[in-house]
Amino acid sequence: MAHEGQRIPAVTFKMRERTDEIGQPNPYVWVDKTTADLFQNKRVAVFSLPGAFTPTCTTKQLPEFEEVYYAQLISCAIDAVYCISVNDAFVMKQWADKLKVEKIQMIPDGNGLFTKGMNMLVKKENLGFGARSWRYSMVVDNMIIQKMWVEPGKMDNAEDDPYTITKPNYMFEWCKQQYETNGGMNLYR
């Protein structure tokens, strides 16, 4: 399992970006974004979850980060908040549109490469999901995991999907304490 002080895995995410240059009803193009593109020289709050449109992720985790804690995290020297899921770019976009997500950047890990590199890929075949992410959250400062929260009981085909220590209030309280302790300065920059 990934741990604090470790560098995040170097992968390429297959993403879709809007462009008005192609003049089509679906004006999106494929764009490759590397881990460095998204994380280098930034302090980022990340939460990873089992799947778009699933109950806890849709009714609790993503809305809590978007509606309640995004601004609070940004106020503690966080540059961006990312939601990562082992879903493709199309699913992540539709999920964000459905929930009216405007602040959090959705990161599709369709092939599970980042999640596997974090050693957080688990089988969810008992639910018909295939391989998915175990629920975790972390603060990454310039590609280094500064703090990480992992739900207990990580295992393949788990009967439940815990959502306890990865709630955004835990991340915010830690970020706030770090921010106040360091006089508003980031630790790794």
Residues with catalytic function:
57
Copy the structure tokens of residue 17: 């970006």
What are the backbone angles phi and psi of residue 98, rounded to the nearest 5°? -60, -40
CA 146/CA 157 separation, integer angstroms: 29
What are the backbone angles phi and psi of residue 35, rounded to the nearest 5°? -55, -40
What are the backbone angles phi and psi of residue 18, rounded to the nearest 5°? -75, 140
Residue type, 133: S
